[in-house]
Amino acid sequence: MREPVFTGACSAIITPFDHSGAINYDQFGKLIDEQIERGLDAICVCGTTGECSTLTIREHIAAVEYCVKRVNGRVKVIAGAGSNDTSAAVYLSQHAQDSGADALLHVTPYYNKASQTGLIKHYEYIADRVQLPIILYNVPSRTGVSFTAETYKVLSQHPNINGVKEASGNFSLLAHTLAICGDDFYVWSGNDDQVVPMMSLGAKGVISVVANIAPEIIIQMTHLCLEGNFSKAAAIQLGYMDFIDALFLEVNPIPIKAAMNLAGYDIGSLRLPLCDMSDGPLEVLRQSMMKAGLLKA
């Protein structure tokens, strides 16, 4: 039986920019060190929250290399390597592997709206060309396509496909997937507001946006679930729902970057077409952070 890439809490780490718009590696290193020191089980670099869609190929490769070197084996590093171009996804995957990453995160090919057969061919083609474990990423609200449980079953047979980051919000899909795939395929939550119910069905943890600014919340919640203490984990989940909801008032990663800047992190702005948070939602976010004890009045 294969082992999951990680269990517990993984941060979908942001990519900080300096005032010229370039990657701020000094701040990036500080964020990586802080995340590890605060107890996270893994770091996912160059995912959605890391603004992979606005990084050049060279920046993407450099950011993964930097993260792997900075982490230096202290926790697992999962490198975002997805693309709507299969050959580009292979290129990013092979570079991440050469950099020393521990695993790969591969979003479904966006815009193309591939068929289930196309998804199988895409992922098998990539998995045949790397040795690292692959975590699929199902987020149909962004990509326009979702896996079926039957497709997960087919892909679970490939030795390099470890599981999926599930952000569809579809609990029927989750239940059917776990029922037919068993221990051949692992699931992680891709939604911070659904961690406990997903783990109660068998998910192994979360790749989290919230963990960028409040890792202890996510660590405690996931580890309680792993221990089988779902009632205490649920109390944490429900207690922070206002803050979690506020982090998705506008498209990720706009609110998490705003939250971190409010909390005193110098992580810069966003790259177009992403832009700064509008005033009304920003005030709701500010109030939710104060309520959660993450910001002083």
Q: Which residues are catalytic?
A: 137, 165
Give phi and psi for 14, each to the nearest 5.
-75, 165
Cβ proximity of 156 and 126 under 8 Å? no
Tokens of 62: 């450099």
Rounded distance, CA 32 to CA 26, Å?
A: 10
Give the whole-angstrom CA distance, residue 207 versus residue 235.
20
Cα distance between residue 185 and residue 157, in whole Å: 8
Distance CA 224, CA 185 (A): 22
**Tokens, residue 6:** 């990680």
| Distance set, CA 26 to CA 52, 63, 65, 222 (Å) | 19, 12, 14, 30
CA distance 146 to 245: 23
DSSP string computed for 170-193: -HHHHHHHHHHHGGGSEEEES-GG
Q: Give the orientation angle of helix 86-99 with respect to helix 116-127, to 10 degrees.
A: 30
Residue 154's region, left for phi above 0, alpha for psi from -120 to 50, else beta, is alpha
Identify the three-state secondary structure at position 129: coil
